[in-house]
Chain A
Amino acid sequence: MTPTRAGSTSSTKKDPEKDQQTTTEAGSGNNTHNFDALPPVPMKAFAKLPGWKALRSMRTAIWLLLALAIATFIPTWVPQRITNQTKVQEFAEDHPSWFQAFDRLRLFDVFDSWWYIGIYGTLLFVLVNCLVPRTRNFFRQQKQAFATPRERKQFPSLPCHVEMQVPLSPEETVSLLKKTLRSHRFRQGNLNTRGQWVAEKGHLREGGSLVFHWSFFVLLLGMFFTRAFGFEGQVLLVEGEHWVDAPVNYDYYNPGRFFGPEDHRGFEIAHDSFEVRFFENGGPADFVSTVRVFDDTNNNAQGEKSQVLQKEIRVNNPLDYRGMKFYQISWGWAIRVTIDDQNGKPLFDDWVPLFPGGARNTWTGVVKLPSLSPQVGMELFFFPDALLLGEEEAADLRGDFAGGENLLIRLFARPGPPTIGDAVLLAGEYAGDLGQNTLFQTVYDLRTENMEGPLEYGLARLSNTGYRFADGLSLHAPEIRHYSVLRVKRDPGLWTVLIAAVLLMFGLTASLYISRRRLWVWVRPVEPDPSDTNTATAASGTDTKETAAPRTPPPNHNSTPSQSGEKPTATATESTTMSPASPLSQRNDVLSQQHATEAAAPRTPQTMVTLGGLAYQRKDAFETEFTRLVKDLQAKLRSNQAHGNNT
């Protein structure tokens, strides 16, 4: 008895619980199981809850996807703290009341906000609600092909079908067919008493879809690992600087929930040199940070470190040491600034990192002297390759200029790589309250709201010309070096995320590119016609053994009209023998051939085989496949015959 699932018939009726479109088959109406159907929900108590149906429906999922898309659009317009902390601060200062309102709605941290998490959390909940029954269903399906076999009159309604008469006994035919179908990787159902069974292919479509959807949970797991047990930071290293891996030494530090100082390796890095190589047109070709790593490899109590390795860190080529990865992010100039008081006592002597300024080949930086009274701040402008001019000289020349009173600096826009030529440092002096207790600022920001200035602009040159300010401070810029910004991170969830991505891709490709196909087979013995007396041998092995051409019916029976429109004649040409489109003439062919065969053959048992197939997706590809299958079958029959004759 053909196994049928208890739920199969109900699923094709108007099931109000199922709001998925079922693919309709041409000419079908009943008794064909729908691959997409959700099994009926067992009537547990929670299933009767009012919202439950919504929480597992596709419709809800679509609305949630839409909501997700809209919610994700917000960060395009509103600055986010994770990407641009400074812009958020600016917003806060420019529009304080809007800022309050937006911040309450968490518009500056969209991806961490309760409502965004709510959207994708609900989506995941709906997903798992759909996935669990469908996965269960899928595994159950693998044990059986449960479509019901077709009745004779239903075969012609299939887009691809063929009827053949085969000079074998029914049992042999069945085994031959089953073997052939198996070699074409069809999964087959059981033979029923009427000689019918069903073969199916393309289960990976559903399988792939399940893998795809489950992989989101794997992704989530990976992200959880990273966020909980990993960390991320950034460090700015000037050439020649030594640095030890510890939370305190990062310029930007973001540890995972369960990541603490003890999880740091504590090794030391010496940044030996940084190199920028340029193309001829001035664009950067390569950034290379050469570093040496020192670590306590002997685990001695002294904690003495020795050199472990040397590496050139480049973009696309990070340093990977003991689970910590260092990536080359950016670079800049760090200028050594010394400031002395009027008596020559040093007040400041450090490498000040400079960042790209507005104009071409200009850099800006900040020096703060909080221990002076009043506090002093300096706004630095650095021009690596500049020319000092007086006003009259400048009047005749073209180019970009910068500067203060009585002072003009022409910025060289020389083609080619930027070089350190006649470098100039301009320092605008401010005095007052740096606002470190009241105004938001990083080490690289100078807030001048509570300061007077710029009081004057001092100019120092790399060639060691200094400047003495009016209040007695003297400024020098004796040296310049590069600095390199490295992102450091430890990412325990990385491999999990990668696996999730791979699963996702395989699942998605399978779920979209594989089509579900079904074949219905019907084998029955043919009563030999007693009136036939001709005994042409079966050993002729000619085409008379082949029977009717695979019949593809007039296009009107195809489930998609467009397909028929495209190639009604094309399919006819693909069949092994040409058949005009008229059904009537085809039938005549069958009968005449049948007749010839019967007339020619001796009384070997004859079996009639009807084979019909349908693809739920990629229907045109299936026609090719079907034809190939039939050809294979006929070839096997021929070889079978040959063998049979040889014995």
Chain B
Amino acid sequence: MSATNRPLPDFQGTLLDTSAFDTAEWRTGTLLVNVWGSWCAPCIREAPHLAQTANSMAEENVRFLGVDIKDNRPAAQQFEERYSIPYPSVFDDAGAFAAGLRVIAPPTTFLVQDGTVRTVIMGETDSSTIACVVRQISPPPPAKDPL
């Protein structure tokens, strides 16, 4: 896949909540990037899965980031609310970030480790696939001793 083993592209922009965004701050650790749009039907279908997985991995230092393309802020924020997306999304109206990621069409999910793209999932995905992909590079923490 052409996008794999490439660095995360440089990009400065804004998140949906209009706060600043710079990829420089996201080059460490395990990162899952999901490219979506509120108008995109498969994105709607996979949204709950992403939300659930993001929540379950919250303590593990796996960060989730969304990239919202061809959209408008109110509709996108509405989408986030509807599906309770816990992670922030970049508002990529010119499509520059998605272009750098070599996205063909949404939804596309990228697994990024230390600033390098490792895996690309094209099309709609679900919790188990995301989990599996993440686990390949980031093993689960040991189960907490109930004691």
Binding site for B on A (CB under 8 A): 241-249, 253, 260-262, 264, 266, 268, 301-303, 338-339, 345-350, 368-373, 436-437, 443
Contact = CB atoms under 8 A, between A and B. Distances in A.
B39 A443 contact: yes
B104 A248 contact: yes
B10 interface: yes
B71 to A, nearest CB: 8
A250 to B, nearest CB: 9
Contact of A246 (B44, B72, B98): B98
Top 3 closest pairs, chain A to chain B, by CB: A246-B99, A350-B72, A346-B74
B34 interface: no
Interface in B44-74: 44-45, 69-74
Interface in B87-103: 93-96, 98-100, 102-103
A247 B103 contact: yes
Nearest to B37: A443
A368 B39 contact: yes
A371 B81 contact: yes
9 contacts: A249-B95, A253-B105, A268-B96, A301-B10, A303-B100, A345-B74, A348-B74, A349-B74, A373-B82
Q: Which of B39, B75, B83, B102 has the most CB of A within 10 A?
A: B75
Nearest to A350: B72
B73 A249 contact: no
A371 B2 contact: no
Interface of B: 2-3, 9-10, 35, 38-39, 41, 44-45, 69-75, 78-79, 81-83, 93-96, 98-100, 102-106
Contacts of A266: 99-100
Nearest to B105: A248
B41 A436 contact: yes
Given A261-B2, A436-B41, A244 B75 contact: no
B69 A248 contact: yes
B102 to A, nearest CB: 4
Q: Which of B2, B41, B100 has the most CB of A within 10 A?
A: B41
Given A261-B2, A262-B102, A370-B39, A244 B74 contact: no
Contacts of A303: 9-10, 100
Nearest to B71: A350
Contacts of B38: 370-371
Contacts of A268: 94, 96
Contact of B2 (A244, A262, A302, A338): A262
Contacts of A372: 78, 82
A360 B39 CA distance: 30
A247 B3 CA distance: 13
B78 A249 contact: no
Q: Which of A261, A339, A347 has the most CB of B within 10 A?
A: A261
Contacts of B41: 370, 436-437
B112 to A, nearest CB: 17
